Structure 1
Amino acid sequence: MDVILAIVIFIVSYFFIMTERINRATAALFGGTLLLLTGIYTTEDIFFHYIDWNTIALLFSMMVIISITEKTGLFTFIAIRFAQSVRGDPMFLLIGSIVLTAIGSAFLDNVTTVLIFVPVMLKITKLLKLPAFPYLLMIIFSSNIGGTATLIGDPPNIMIGQAVEHFTFLTFLAHTAPVALFLLILLILISYLLFQRRLKTYQPNLSELLSIDAKENLVESTILYKSVTVLIMTVTGFLLHAAVHVEMTTIALTGAILLLLLTEKDVKTEEILSKVEWVTLFFFIGLFTIVGGLQHTGVIDEIARLIVVSTEGDYVKTTLLILWISGFASGFIDNIPFVAAMIPVIQEFETYGMVYLDPIWWALALGSCLGGNATLLGASANVVVAGLAEADNQRISFLRFMKYGIVIVVLSLIVSTVYIYIRYLIPYMG
């Protein structure tokens, strides 16, 4: 009975999130509340097992840092300089945003990258009177593709890296980065085919753009130097977190609290906290609770085990099925709990005689990271971008996004299938 209730509540909640008839955060939180009222799990289960507080704290911390930094006009300054460097060309601007987001997502993480880059892009599109949707759409896609390339780029990769001792930062670069690079080039081509004609109709006033003095928007005060210093320290901490053995969440929280302390006399803490995207944070909390219902009742575990049963232990079939199942499941459920459920299952494959598990791990990594592009709920970065856009009156429709996202994911999984088959499975079968 609990299993049926958890599935029904998840489907109903997801329906309201998809159709956006009510606020997404309200729909997700209501689903979690129903799971509590029906006794499927307890508040202790929610707070100690299912809500990923590391993700919530990381998001909160970066929102605080970005909010303070934004007051200095730094993002407006960067936006104007970036637009001037491409001479206001809408297509070059789109391609540039794809490349910059992908690089940032690979070497920071995709959530941090979009928190920094989306406010900049929103300012650029407003300045040039361009439609924000194509740019936000491609930022989401490139953030998830870029995050696929490295160990720290996307949460599923971090989880897999922790589960497999011989996987290092360089291991991920050698095995997942080639696919990510190919898909990034493919994404640039797709963006050109999709939006070149539409963006060509927009002719920004180049003389007006070039006449703007970007420095006029920069508030050169102590807040600027403090916020930039803390931001650089935080980003450096992310890059070195594995070497210094400090979690990224701890680094982000330290940066946020330190910056609040340093700027206390310059800007009120209440004002900064009012700028935090609380709706986005509570939507994450609600999403974790309704997915937690599926975890608690064993639905996700059962899905994972059915994969093994359906392939009858065949190595090639198992590898490719995990790629495609994780790709679509991650798009609609959320890749973090799915990967958490799959890790022990894959570890058990050794008992079935599968000694060489690396291709299966890469299938899980590629499927779960790239599958996040399917819907607005597929990855943390997607939800953050949607929240930032909505706060700027540039709402991204769930169904409109999904029309593009499903196509991108199918293409990504086809490319990944060919890659895995040629690089790993043919040598294994030989």
Structure 2
Amino acid sequence: METTLAVAVFIVSYVFIMSEKINRALVALAGGVLMLLSGIYSWEEAFTSFIDWSTITLLFSMMVLVSITKKTGLFEYIAILLAQRVKGAPIPLLIVTGVLTAIGSALLDNVTTVLLFVPILLTLTSKLNLPVFPYLLTVILCANIGGTATLIGDPPNIMIGQAVDHFTFMSFLVHLGPVVLIIFTATLFGLVLLFRKTLVKGEGDHVRTLMELDPSSYLKKTPMLYQSVTVLSMTILGFLLHAFVHVDLTTVAVCGAILLLLLTEKESNTEKVFEEVEWVTLFFFMGLFMLVGGLEQVGVIDELARGMIWLTEGDLPSTALMILWISGLFSGIVDNIPFVAAMIPVIKEFQSYGMTNLDPLWWSLALGACLGGNGTLIGASANVVVAGLASSARHPIGFLKFMLYGMPVVLFSLAVCTIYVWFRYLVPFMQAGM
């Protein structure tokens, strides 16, 4: 009975989130409360087991950093400088957007990258009078693709890296980097073709006005500017070095946010900073974690994972490809974090079946979970953050509209990954067994 109820609540909540008739955070929280009222789990379990407070805290901390830095005019400065470099041309701007987002997502993580980059992009498109959606779509797709390439780029990779002792930062880059580069290049080329007629160069007055602007005039050269740049740089450096200094990303982000709040207390009102935090996005995450937690509590996610093993009868090539596709498609429906958490112990169990080389399964899981996040607006954390920022700037992204673009990218990505996994890992495995 509990299983049926949990699945029903999840499906109904998901339908309302897709319809966008009611605030998505309210829908997700209402679904989570229904799980509580039905006795599927308790408040204590929801708060201690299912809501990922590390993710919530990381997002909150980065929102604080971005909110304070935004007051210095730094984002406007970067936006105008970038637009002037491409002379206001929409297509080159789209390409630069995709490249910078992908690189940033690989070196930092995709959530931090979009938090830093989207405010710049919103400013830029406004000044050039360009449609926002193509650029926001590019940011989301390239953030998830770029984040797939490294250990710190996407939460599923961090989880897998912690679960497998011999995986290092370079392991992810060497094994996932080549296929990510192929998918990224093809996706960016496809976006250019898709929007080449939509992204027409703005009126001469807009471009001329832009070229005449002095980017440095937008900088508020007060102590807060230098404090913001310094703390933000230190935080990014902390992200890059967290694997070496053994300090997790959330701790680095919290330290950066608190330090900047203390340093800028006289210039930036703390209460005002907190008012600018995207609370709707944070509460949506909480509700989403509670909804998925209900499925996890009644065993739906675990049964799905074990069913995959049963279907493949322990055959490594079949299992690797099934993990790739199931994780890819499933990650488009719910957040990929709980699915990866359920799959990690299952993959480890394969050792008891006589499998000595589990690496193809781990790489399949990483590729499917990370790239599958492009399927819907709630498929990955970065998607939700971009949607929240866009909505607050009065440029809402429709759930179904995004899905029409995102799902074909996911299917293409999984097809490319199938070929890659087959020839790089599975063919040598089958030849060795002959």
TM-score higher than 0.5: yes
CA deviation string 1:129-181 (max 9, x = no partner): 00000000010000000000000000000000000000000000000111111
Residues 148-297 of structure 1 mapped to structure 2, 5 A cutoff:
148-200=148-200, 202-203=202-203, 205-297=206-298
Looking at structure 2, the residues matched to 203 and 359 of structure 1 have their Cα atoms a distance apart, in angstroms, of 52
The Cα of 1:206 is off from its aligned counterpart by 2.6
Q: 2:299, 2:321 → 1: CA distance?
A: 23
Query: Which residue identity does 1:102 align to in structure 2?
Result: A
CA-CA distance at 1:73 after TM superposition = 0.4
Superposition pairs for residues 231-380 of structure 1, below 5 Å? Answer: 231-380=232-381
- Give the 3-state SS of the residue equivalent to 2:250 in structure 1: helix
Q: What amino acid sits opposite 2:361 in the alignment? A: I
Q: Which residue of structure 2 aligns with residue 53 of structure 1?
A: 53
Q: Report the Cα offset of residue 353 of structure 1.
A: 1.6
Give the 3-state SS of the residue equivalent to 2:193 in structure 1.
helix
Moved more, 120-129 or 195-204: 195-204
Measure how far apart 1:200 and its partner are: 2.4
Match of 2:87 in 1: 87
- Other structure's SS at 2:22 match: coil
Q: How does 1:50-129 map to 2 (within 5 A)?
A: 50-129=50-129
Alpha-carbon separation, structure 1, partners of 2:269 and 2:209: 35
Residue of structure 1 equivalent to 2:405: 404
Q: CA RMSD in A?
A: 0.7
Deviations 1:63-100, CA, capped at 9 Å, x for gaps? 00000000000000000000000000000000000000
**Aligned amino acid, residue 120 of structure 2:** V
Distance 2:216 2:301 in 1: 52
- Paired letter, 2:299: G
Given that 2:90 and 2:201 are in contact with CA atoms closer than 8 Å, whether structure 1 keeps it comes out as no
Quote the residue 1:13 is aligned against: 13
Q: Distance in 2 between matches of 1:368 and 1:67?
A: 30
**2:424 aligned with 1:423:** yes
Give the deviation of 1:247 after TM superposition: 0.8
Distance (whole Å) between structure 2 residues aligned to residue 243 and residue 315 of structure 1: 33
1:397 positional shift: 0.2
Measured against aligned partners, the alpha-carbon deviations of 1:217-257 in whole angstroms (never above 9, x if no partner) come to: 11000010011100000000000001111111000000001
Paired AA for residue 264 in structure 2? T
Distance across 1 between alignment mates of 2:189 and 2:264 = 44
Worse overlay, 350-359 or 121-130: 350-359
Count of residue pairs brought into register by the alignment:
430
TM-score normalised per structure 2: 0.98
Q: Secondary structure at the match of 2:268?
A: coil
Q: Distance in 1 between matches of 2:203 and 2:111?
A: 32
Identical pairs, percent: 61
What is residue 39 of structure 2 aligned with on the other side? 39
Please give the alpha-carbon distance, in whole angstroms, between the structure 1 residues aligned to 2:265 and 2:188.
43
CA contact (8 A) 2:148 2:154 kept: yes
TM-score (norm 1): 0.99
1:202 CA displacement: 3.8
2:6–2:40 Cα contact (<8 Å) kept: yes
User: Are the aligned partners of 2:327 and 2:365 in contact in 1 as well (CA < 8 Å)?
Assistant: yes
Structure 1 residue matching 2:373: 3-state secondary structure: helix
Q: How far off is 1:355 after superposition?
A: 1.2
Paired with 1:247 and 1:198, the residues of 2 have a C-alpha distance of 42
**Structure 1 CA distance, aligned partners of 2:180 and 2:269?**
42
Q: In the alignment, is the contact (CA less than 8 A) between 2:89 and 2:201 conserved in 1?
A: no
Q: Deviations over 1:255-306 (max 9, x none)?
A: 0011101111111100000000000000000000000000111100000000
Structure 1: gaps of 5 or more residues: none
For residues 177-213 of structure 1, the C-alpha deviation after alignment (integer angstroms, 9 at most, x for no partner) is 1111111110111011100111126445332211011
Tell me the alpha carbon deviations over residues 294-351 of structure 1, each in whole angstroms, 9 at most, x when there is no partner. Answer: 0111100000000001111121111100000000111101100000000000000111
Unaligned regions of 5+ residues in structure 2, if any?
none
Distance 1:207 1:116 in 2: 27
Amino acid at match of 1:46: A
